[in-house]
Structure 1
Amino acid sequence: MVKHFYKGTGIIISFIILAILFLCSLAFGYTSTNFQTVFDTYRAFDGSAEQVVIQTMRMPRAIIATLVGACLAVSGAIMQALTRNPMASPGILGINAGASLSVVLGMTLFSVYSLEGFMWLSFLGAFVAAISVFVLGSMGREGLTKLKLTMAGVVLSSLFSSITTGLLILDDNRLESVMFWMSGSVEGRKLELVVPVLPFVVLGLFMAMAMSGKINALLVGEDVAKGLGQKTWLVKGMGLLVVVFLSGSAVAMAGPIGFVGLIIPHIVRGFVGIDYRWVMPYCAILGAGLMLAADIASRFILFPTEVPVGVATAVVGAPFFIYLARRGVMKG
């Protein structure tokens, strides 16, 4: 009971921190504004340039960063649980790269530029990449192992990225406009991007929370889960569907952004343990917070000029990935 009280209190504190970061995202940027300007924008809008920037540029940017961070962190937690691989994440296992390749193929070969088109292409690419990684990682006498799964993800991610780059080079008219999106960014995004994917984001997050208890049983062991009457194949299938929904939605809104789905689940499990009934909500809140913090940092803290938020997450995520590899978590 005491542990639950502290974990519940932690949820409230995390949510307060998220709210503060969201407010900072609205208040700080190249256009000189402050918290008072933000409050005045929604309390007494006067049409000034500063208030227009907050309403039309920073608010959509903050909302999209929040949703993308939650999606990536929760999907990373699910992938790490179902594969029992602490290196698993949508970026490391090639899910983001597959979704990106699908979008670029649609733009290059079929001239797809609609928001709905991007959404469905992202989902298709994420699904194909997920299936491909699991099939490739399961080949051989040993079956699916952590090392094989990670290597399959790295290889396929490199392959998808190379094909994507080749397509863009062949069609250099689209290169400049697409490369900024490919690096992962929430700058200049509009709320129209959220509308078609929001149902899938909500459904994916709801399914993730609902299946958290079943994931706990799987973590004890697949045989134990079967002994408790669980259909493990159904849990894994639902988990894969959730990963596709959340990863595909994130790529559709902001392009491929790495390392959020790798970092946050490890941090959360360090605080609250492996009970996924707590891991899931914590990942959603802290993942959103990390994306907002990275977006704020990418504007004027880490670099002399603004860079895509995917660069900021990589600055933190790459050393974290090396740290995990040096701990030997890829064994088995």
Structure 2
Amino acid sequence: MLLKSSSLKLAGLLAAIILMLLLMCASVIFGYTDTNLQMAIDAFTNNNGSNEHIIIQMVRLPRALIASVVGASLAIAGVLMQTLTKNPLASPGILGINAGAGFAVVVAITLFSIDSTQGFNALAFLGAAVAAISVYVIGSVGHGGLTPMKLTLAGAAMAAMFSSFTQGLLVLNDALLDQVLFWLAGSVSGRKLETLVSVLPYIGVGWLGSLMISGKMNILAMGEDVAKGLGLNTGFIKIAIGVLVILLAGGSVAVAGPIGFVGIVVPHITRSIVGIDHRWVIPMAGVLGAILLLAADIAARYLLMPSEVPVGVMTAIIGTPFFIFIARKGFNAR
């Protein structure tokens, strides 16, 4: 643990927030269209309708806000899932929740031609819920009940199944293939601010609920028998965590598509900085998740300029070595 005292943890959290705000400013300024800080300020204080000002207001600002919210949500969801399952590899991507939400949205697009924000949101939440419940049930079947290994295998199986169904649907509608494939890779590019606003109440509930149960998660992390002995209603806490994960992961997929690895990488980095107290882990993970996705999105603009790499590809490049490292070391989620 890097930061041991509460004052150091608070200072670290404030420093992370400042870094996040700086990256949001960088996200607004940097890109294919050449702009600078003064142009960004003028776009909001003295807008002259120029192409640069329009891009800053209508494209880059929503992109920065979406990357921040989605990164924070996926990181917090990863913390919740790793604590609930005692699985260091648990995350919305690895356990198939992102794939389930993504499949539901593709069904809406390809079979029902749904293009409304409300329709996307409802189906993303439904798909996330179905995937989460299915993985939990499958992972609990058999001798020994729910174990980290069985949960990981069940999640991988469900993710593969939903991905296969998604690819099959795309064959039926070639006209939407390019649009949907770019979305499925995970991207914050070209997303409208209205889409973020529509899911923000659900994501906000997910953030607030996570903070409210953070103290009880410390007790749950001690083990179920100990938690019950201390009077904790473990069944209620598990259900609450499941609902919060569905809100956070479903909302994120509805906005930006299924972005992987954020929920794996950030919780482990966070614990190495502030320890295992979820009252610090959850807010710090949220800020670090936003930082990771903002940085990945900025890098994605320059990797193959003038073309852009979907941010989900960048997070995979960052997260895959980390995933292998965790799997080989067998770190225990706290």
Normalised TM-score (structure 1): 0.97
Could you say which residue in structure 2 is the equivalent of 1:196? 198
Q: Does 1:43 align with 2:77?
A: no
Which letter does structure 2 place at the counterpart of 1:259?
F
Distance 1:270 1:295 in 2: 24
Q: Does 1:215 align with 2:203?
A: no
Matches for 1:1-332 after TM superposition, within 5 Å: 3-301=5-303, 305-329=307-331
- Contact kept, 8 Å, 1:69 with 1:288, in 2: the verdict is yes
1:304-327 per-position Cα deviation (integer Å, ceiling 9, x unaligned): 731110000000011111111111
- Contact kept, 8 Å, 2:62 with 2:193, in 1: the verdict is yes
Q: CA 1:112/1:213 → structure 2, altered by over 3 Å: closer, same or farther?
A: same
- Contact kept, 8 Å, 1:182 with 1:255, in 2: the verdict is yes
* Greater Cα shift, 281-290 or 99-108: 99-108
Q: CA 1:287/1:51 → structure 2, altered by over 3 Å: closer, same or farther?
A: same
- Contact kept, 8 Å, 2:99 with 2:162, in 1: the verdict is yes
Q: Aligned with 1:26: secondary structure?
A: helix
Distance 1:110 1:37 in 2: 42
- Contact kept, 8 Å, 2:303 with 2:309, in 1: the verdict is no
Percent sequence identity over matched residues? 53
- Residue 2 of structure 1: how far off its partner (Å): 7.1
Q: Aligned with 1:134: secondary structure?
A: helix
- Contact kept, 8 Å, 1:147 with 1:330, in 2: the verdict is no
Distance 2:210 2:77 in 1: 8
* Greater Cα shift, 296-305 or 162-171: 296-305
Unaligned runs of 5+ in 1: none
1:97-123 per-position Cα deviation (integer Å, ceiling 9, x unaligned): 000011111222222111000000000
Which letter does structure 1 place at the counterpart of 2:140?
S
Distance 2:144 2:304 in 1: 44
**RMSD (CA atoms):** 1.5
Q: Aligned with 2:221: secondary structure?
A: helix
Distance 1:181 1:209 in 2: 30
Which letter does structure 2 place at the counterpart of 1:215?
M
- Residue 301 of structure 1: how far off its partner (Å): 3.8
Q: Aligned with 1:106: secondary structure?
A: helix
- Contact kept, 8 Å, 1:41 with 1:54, in 2: the verdict is yes
* Greater Cα shift, 37-46 or 92-101: 37-46
Q: Aligned with 1:7: secondary structure?
A: helix
- Contact kept, 8 Å, 2:75 with 2:267, in 1: the verdict is yes
Unaligned runs of 5+ in 2: none
1:46-83 per-position Cα deviation (integer Å, ceiling 9, x unaligned): 22211111001000111111110011000010000010
Distance 1:291 1:199 in 2: 21
Count of equivalent residues: 331
1:200-237 per-position Cα deviation (integer Å, ceiling 9, x unaligned): 01111000000000000001111121122111000000
Distance 1:204 1:330 in 2: 25
